[in-house]
Amino acid sequence: MSPVTNGINGHDFTVESLADKILSRVESNDPFFSLEFFPPRTEQGAANLIGRFDRMRAGGPLFVDITWHPAGDPGSDKITSSTKIAGTVLNYCGLDTMLHMTCVKQTKETIKKNLEKTKNLGIRNILALRGGISPNADADESWGYQEGGFNYGVDLVRFIKQEYGDAFSICVAGYPNGHPDSTSYQDDLLHLKEKIDAGGQFIITQLFFTAEEFLTFVKDCREIGIDCPIIPGIFPIQTNRSLVQLTKLSKLSIPEEIQKVIEPIKDNDAAIRKYGIDLATDMCRTLLNSGKVHGLHMYTLNLETATIQILKNLGLWCQDVAKPLPWKTSANPERRENETVRPIFWCDRPKSYIHRTQGWDEFPNGRWGDSASPAFGELKDYHLFFLRSRTAKDKLRSLWGKELTSEADVWKVFKHFITGAVNENGVKVTETPWNDDGLSPETNVLSSTLSRYNELGVLTINSQPNVNAVPSTHPIYGWGDKGGYISQKAYLEFFINKHYAEALKTVLPKYHPRVNYHMINKCGTTDHTNADRSNPNAVTWGIFAGKEIIQPTVVDPVSFIVWKDEAFGLWHERWASLYEKGSKSREIINDIADNYYLVNLVDNDYPADSILWEVLDEMLAASQKVDMGKKSNGVCGENGTQKIEELQIH
Amino acid sequence: MSPVTNGINGHDFTVESLADKILSRVESNDPFFSLEFFPPRTEQGAANLIGRFDRMRAGGPLFVDITWHPAGDPGSDKITSSTKIAGTVLNYCGLDTMLHMTCVKQTKETIKKNLEKTKNLGIRNILALRGGISPNADADESWGYQEGGFNYGVDLVRFIKQEYGDAFSICVAGYPNGHPDSTSYQDDLLHLKEKIDAGGQFIITQLFFTAEEFLTFVKDCREIGIDCPIIPGIFPIQTNRSLVQLTKLSKLSIPEEIQKVIEPIKDNDAAIRKYGIDLATDMCRTLLNSGKVHGLHMYTLNLETATIQILKNLGLWCQDVAKPLPWKTSANPERRENETVRPIFWCDRPKSYIHRTQGWDEFPNGRWGDSASPAFGELKDYHLFFLRSRTAKDKLRSLWGKELTSEADVWKVFKHFITGAVNENGVKVTETPWNDDGLSPETNVLSSTLSRYNELGVLTINSQPNVNAVPSTHPIYGWGDKGGYISQKAYLEFFINKHYAEALKTVLPKYHPRVNYHMINKCGTTDHTNADRSNPNAVTWGIFAGKEIIQPTVVDPVSFIVWKDEAFGLWHERWASLYEKGSKSREIINDIADNYYLVNLVDNDYPADSILWEVLDEMLAASQKVDMGKKSNGVCGENGTQKIEELQIH
Selecting among A16, A27, A36, A334, the annotated active-site residue is A36
To test the contact with chain A by mutation, choose from B365, B532, B539, B543 the residue with the greatest count of A C-beta atoms within 10 A, namely B543
Q: How far apart are CA A515 and CA A614, in angstroms?
A: 11
Contact A526, A539 (CB under 8 A): no
- Identify all chain A residues contacting B361, using CB atoms and an 8 Å cutoff: 1-2
Nearest-neighbour CA in chain A from B598: distance (Å): 19
Structure confidence at residue B382 as a pLDDT band (50, 70, 90): confident
- Give the residue, A165 or B384, on which the prediction is more confident: A165
Segment B136-150 shows an average pLDDT of: 61
Domain B18-133+148-238+280-314 class? alpha beta
Least confident of A25-29, A62-66, A444-448: A444-448
CB contact under 8 A, B606 and A469: yes
Mean pLDDT computed over B42-46: 90
pLDDT digits (tens, 9 = 90+) for A500-515: 999 999 999 999 999 9
Closest to B6 (Cβ–Cβ): which among A372, A536, A546?
A372
- Average pLDDT on A12-19 reads 75
Residue A36 annotated as catalytic: yes
- Give contacts of B553 with chain A, Cβ < 8 Å: none
Residue in B363, B485, B513 nearest the CB of A483: B513
Q: What is the pLDDT of residue A379?
A: 85
State yes or no: pLDDT of B3 exceeds 50.
Answer: no
Q: Provide, as residue numbers in chain B, all residues whose Cβ is less than 8 Å from the Cβ of A554.
A: 548
**pLDDT recorded at residue A635:** 53
Rounded distance between C-alpha atoms, residue B14 and residue A539, angstroms = 26
| Cα–Cα distance for residue pair B431/B414, rounded to 1 Å | 10
- Give SS3 for B172: strand
Distance from CA of B460 to the nearest CA of A (A): 21
Query: Smallest CA–CA separation between B4 and chain A, in Å?
Result: 6
Instruction: Yes or no: say if A337 and A13 are a contact pair by the CB < 8 Å rule.
Output: yes
For residue A41, the surrounding DSSP H or E stretch is none
pLDDT of residue B636: 62
Beta strands in A103-251 (DSSP E): 125-129, 169-174, 202-205, 230-231, 233-234
Distance CA B183, CA B193 (A): 16
The Cα B568–Cα B598 span in angstroms is: 8
Which of B536, B537, B546 is facing A537, going by the closest CB pair? B546
Task: Judge: A546–B485 Cβ closer than 8 Å, yes or no.
Answer: no
- What's phi and psi for A551, nearest 5 deg? -130, 85
pLDDT at A521: 97
Q: Which residue of A has its CA nearest to B374?
A: A3
What's the pLDDT at A642?
39
- Taken in order A421, A422, A428, A431, the sign of the CA dihedral is negative
If you average pLDDT over every residue of chain A, what do you get? 89
In order, the DSSP letters of A287-356 are HHHTTS--EEEEE-TT--HHHHHHHHHHT-S-SS---SSSS-----HHHHHH---EEGGGTT-HHHHHHH
Q: What is the pLDDT of residues A514-555, one digit of tens each?
A: 999 999 999 999 999 999 998 999 999 999 999 999 999 999
Better-predicted residue by pLDDT, B559 or A135: B559
The whole-number pLDDT of residue B147 equals: 77
- For residue A402, which of A411, A389, A393 has the smallest C-alpha distance? A393
Within chain B, which residue ranges are assigned CATH 3.20.20.220?
Answer: 18-133+148-238+280-314
Confidence at B371, pLDDT banded by 50, 70, 90? low
Q: Cβ contact (<8 Å) for A2 and B468? A: no
pLDDT tens figures, B418-467: 998 899 999 999 999 998 778 888 878 889 999 999 999 999 999 999 99
**What are the tens digits of pLDDT across the range A178-233?**
777 777 899 999 999 999 999 999 999 999 999 999 999 999 999 999 999 999 99
Write phi, then psi, for A230 (nearest 5 degrees): -120, 115
Q: How close does chain A come to B469, measured CA to CA in Å?
A: 7
Q: What is the pLDDT of residues B106-117, one digit of tens each?
A: 899 999 999 999
Average pLDDT over residues B510-539: 95
Can you tell me the mean pLDDT for B45-60? 91
* Cα–Cα distance, A622 to B500 (Å, whole number): 68
B34 near B231, Cβ under 8 Å? Answer: yes
- Verify whether the Cβ–Cβ distance B367 to A487 is below 8 Å: no
Q: Which residues contact B499 (CB under 8 A, 6 or more apart)?
A: B623, B626, B628
- What integer best gives the mean pLDDT of chain B? 89
Burial of B417 (0-12, 13-18, 19+ CB in 10 A): buried
- Scanning every residue of chain B, which has its alpha carbon at the shortest distance from the alpha carbon of A548? B538
- Where b means 16+ CB within 10 Å and e means fewer, A225-258 reads ebebbbbbbbbbbbbbebbeebeeebebebeeeb
Nearest to B545 among A514, A544, A607 (CB): A514
- Are B568 and B522 within 8 A, CB to CB? yes
Confidence of residue A425 (pLDDT cuts 50, 70, 90): very high
Max CA distance (Å), chain A: 94
Look at residue B342 and give its three-state secondary structure.
Answer: strand
- Residue B555's DSSP bridge partners are B537
Q: Is the pLDDT of residue B534 over 60?
A: yes
How far A135 CA lies from chain B's nearest CA (Å)?
A: 49
Query: Active site residue: B16, B27, B36, B455, which one?
Result: B36
CB count, 10 Å around CB of B639?
A: 8
B interface test, pick of A472, A543, A554 with most B CB neighbours within 10 Å: A543
Query: Considering only alpha carbons, which residue of chain B is nearest residue A512?
Result: B545
Residues of A in contact with B468 (CB under 8 A): 468-469
Q: Is the pLDDT of residue A646 over 50?
A: no
Of B12, B374, B535, the CB nearest to A3: B374
Nearest CA in chain B to A513: B545
Phi, psi for residue A399 in degrees, rounded to 5: -80, -45
Chain B positions touching A342 (Cβ under 8 A) are: none
Residue B160 pLDDT grade (very low, low, confident, very high; cuts 50, 70, 90): very high
B149 band by pLDDT with thresholds 50, 70 and 90: confident
The verdict on a CB contact (< 8 Å) between A469 and B532 is: no
For B209-228, the pLDDT digits (tens) are 999 999 999 999 999 999 99
Q: Which of B363, B531, B548 sits opposite A538 (nearest CB)?
A: B548
pLDDT band for position A374 (cuts 50, 70, 90): low
pLDDT of residue A370: 67
**Chain B partners of A363 at a C-beta cutoff of 8 Å?**
2, 4
Give the residue on A whose Cα is nearest the Cα of B539: A548
Closest approach of chain A CAs to the CA of B397, in angstroms? 39
**Average pLDDT over every residue of A81-103:** 95
Q: Residue B2 pLDDT more than 70? A: no
Per CB-CB distance under 8 Å, the chain B contacts of A335 are: none
Cβ of B7 within 8 Å of Cβ of A607? The answer is no
Give contacts of A4 with chain B, Cβ < 8 Å.
9, 362-365, 368-371
Task: Give CA–CA dist B531/B610, Å, rounded.
Answer: 18
